[in-house]
Structure 1
Amino acid sequence: FSISNNMTFYLLFESCLIPILLMILGWGYQPERTQAGVYMLFYTIFGSLPLLIMVLQYTMTTGSNYMFFTTSVFTGFMSTVCLSAAFLVKFPMYSVHLWLLKAHVEAPVAGSMILAGVLLKLGGFGLIRMLSLLDYDYTLLKELIISVSIWGGLLVSINCLRYMDMKLLIASSSVVHMSTCITALFIMTEWSVKGCLLMMIAHGICSSGLFSLANMAYERTNSRSMLVTKGLLNLTPMISLWWFLMLASNMAAPPSINLAGEIMLLMSLISW
């Protein structure tokens, strides 16, 4: 977060994958965790290869690794795509979000909480950093990404209606929230970026809480299916209160930070 060296930024950004990968492979519940790990590794590494190429090109052109040069080297359509691809995969944007669902379902509770609370926000932070460096009017790409994100968010939220697995449902709601954040970041006004930051903070707290609660239900019933875990209100009224609070803030009910974030995002989207 505090680094202004391009290469170090890239290396640290990629090394964040290692602890999550070890968590999934070492402490995951099902045998499919290896498949989830491979999915995650391949999606993120192939997404971030163009970023590495751009960082190296930047170093060769300017002779320095300093991130905030005033003479912007990144001009043109392809450099914009290369710069944002790695972060869009991490975010994850709809169409490259499949690794997230698999990783969340197979990860242990700590892995899911870190994945939702920290790793997804890195994609957002990286986009804020990189898009501010671009000296290029990327209107076509902007419209394309915003359209895909909004459409994808709608499709995933419709898809949520048929999920029975609690973890899968929470992971899908993450994809929907993050797709609204992507639209805000590509609009790139001060209002939309602030809204996106608010949304990311709120989502990090809320999503981690939901994963923790899903794990509590799993420990008591040994199942993540909603059909099996229904009726927990009678057994654990306190946990049910927390479920209500977390779900209410996840759908942006008034006292939550999510509401402020979503209002800012929608305002900037409508005014754009």
Structure 2
Amino acid sequence: MMGFLMTLIFMIPLSFVNFSFWANQCLYMLITFMFFFQFGFSSFYVNISYFWGVDLLSFMMIILSFWICSLMIMASEKFLKVNYYYNLFMFILLVLLISLYCTFSSMNLFVFYLFFEMSLIPTLVLIVGWGYQPERIQAGVYLLFYTLLVSLPMMVAIFYYYNMNGSLDYFFFLNEVNLLMFFLCMSMVFMVKVPMYFVHLWLPKAHVEAPVSGSMILAGVMLKLGGYGLMRLMEVFVSVILKISWVYISICLVGGLYVSLICLRQSDIKSLIAYSSVAHMGLVLGGIMTLSYWGLSGSLVMMVAHGLCSSGLFCLANISYERLGSRSFYINKGLINLMPSMALWWFLLSSSNMAAPPSLNLVGELILINSLVSWSFYCMVLLALISFFSAVYSLYLYSYSQHGKIFGGLYSFSLGSTREYLLLFLHWFPLNLLVVKGEYFTFWL
């Protein structure tokens, strides 16, 4: 584990070498495939080096981080073409990847908290530095203050638990804490990151103002930090969650339905994809709160599936934006006439977003529906409506952007480059390939 960390650290000088843009991307891919050899159904304590280690949950999240970061470089070729501080961009991206790697592989709660908060800074720099519009400052402030407001109570809760337990290593998490205030202080930071309905308003703003790379890392990995943290700390909270899980599950399901309806009112493509993330991650949070084996496995499947699918949709939105100069649905109409081959990718990723077979989203949704219905049969009504409306807004996204009368006079006509098709293929292919090995997501408990 330490070997991979040192590899990433020693890549920092390469970020500042001129014309090393694609060399960086090749190295990211190489590290991804090397990391695959760490795979195993074992617990944390096999791949240990220093105080880093992986179990199956960490492994999935780290692979997702490596994969999305390598695709972020591929999606950001525009920075290289116009020489838009691309060396600094590579450095920020590498710092973000190092912080995510350390977050997911740490075996100590305080180290996890440290890098969890550290990952906020490069994300903020990405949004403010390479965003599209002046409103990106406001989006950055939203992101910063939502996270900072809830991160200090978590630090106090960590100190309290250390005083009580004598250790912050995951292995020694023996004492359950039956205090509601402790649970709220510790978990609210994860609820904001997921993001749970009521504390989700920073996400659409951040997505709309972020560059394509910022949207990809936010949707692909940053939202998963919340689910990962809750899964890790689950054993400390069991007695509290058993009492109040109904509150969180109610908020997630009702909020998921509201957000699905809000999606149908959006006029901005990225805004619609961002709101759909809130609905999908709400299901993940609901699955975790059931405290069942089905729920936790389904949440892991859904996190990986959503990371790949949502990131791919943001890439598609950016491909249209680079040609038309707008993300508005009113201008992005009739694209099937301009880029017929790109319409296939719109269809494939939109259908994955609505959990059509054979995507991993379908597996995740089926498992989560099982867990929530077994928790309470009354969830069936809301789950049916959420599933229905997820199909509605995915079809709305596809049909509105691809069909209709072309808006006149704003395009540079182009059929798309090989790089763009490869980028979309590398999102879609793992999303549909992982279905055949579903057992990989169920052995980590």
* TM-score category (smaller protein): over 0.9
Is the contact made by 2:294 and 2:367 (CA closer than 8 Å) also made in structure 1?
yes
Cα deviation, residue 70, structure 1: 4.5
Q: Which of 156, 170, 193 is 2:259 aligned to? A: 156
In structure 1, distance between residues paired with 2:315 and 2:224 = 18
What is the letter of the counterpart of residue 65 of structure 1? L
Is the contact made by 1:104 and 1:167 (CA closer than 8 Å) also made in structure 2?
yes
Equivalent residue number for residue 96 of structure 1: 199
Residues 271 and 62 of structure 1, relative CA distance in 2, 3 Å threshold: closer
Corresponding position: 1:16 with 2:122: no
Residues 58 and 30 of structure 1, relative CA distance in 2, 3 Å threshold: same
**What are the within-5 Å matches in structure 2 for residues 1-272 of structure 1?**
1-72=104-175, 74-272=177-375
In structure 2, distance between residues paired with 1:39 and 1:198 = 29
Cα deviation, residue 82, structure 1: 1.6
Cα deviation, residue 237, structure 1: 1.1
What is the letter of the counterpart of residue 365 of structure 2? E
Number of residue pairs aligned between Structure 1 and Structure 2 = 272
In structure 1, distance between residues paired with 2:114 and 2:248 = 26
In structure 1, distance between residues paired with 2:240 and 2:272 = 37
Residues 74-124 of structure 1, C-alpha deviation per residue, up to 9 Å, x if partnerless?
221111112211101000000000001100000000000000001001111
In structure 1, distance between residues paired with 2:243 and 2:259 = 24
In structure 2, distance between residues paired with 1:269 and 1:85 = 22
Q: Structure 2 length as normaliser, TM-score? A: 0.60
Q: Structure 1 length as normaliser, TM-score? A: 0.97
> Structure 1 stretches of 5 or more lacking a match?
none
What is the letter of the counterpart of residue 102 of structure 1? K
Residues 117-171 of structure 1, C-alpha deviation per residue, up to 9 Å, x if partnerless?
0100111100101122225243342111110111100001011111110000000
Is the contact made by 1:72 and 1:134 (CA closer than 8 Å) also made in structure 2?
no
In structure 2, distance between residues paired with 1:67 and 1:201 = 23
> Structure 2 stretches of 5 or more lacking a match?
1-103, 376-445
Cα deviation, residue 69, structure 1: 2.1
Is the contact made by 1:72 and 1:135 (CA closer than 8 Å) also made in structure 2?
no
In structure 1, distance between residues paired with 2:171 and 2:202 = 32
In structure 2, distance between residues paired with 1:98 and 1:141 = 24
In structure 2, distance between residues paired with 1:162 and 1:25 = 27
2:330 counterpart SS class = helix
Is the contact made by 1:58 and 1:73 (CA closer than 8 Å) also made in structure 2?
no
RMSD: 1.2
In structure 1, distance between residues paired with 2:224 and 2:141 = 21
In structure 2, distance between residues paired with 1:204 and 1:71 = 32
In structure 1, distance between residues paired with 2:371 and 2:200 = 24
In structure 2, distance between residues paired with 1:31 and 1:14 = 25
What is the letter of the counterpart of residue 16 of structure 1? S
What is the letter of the counterpart of residue 32 of structure 1? E
Tell which has more relative contact order, 1 or 2 (C-alpha 8 A, sep 6+): 1
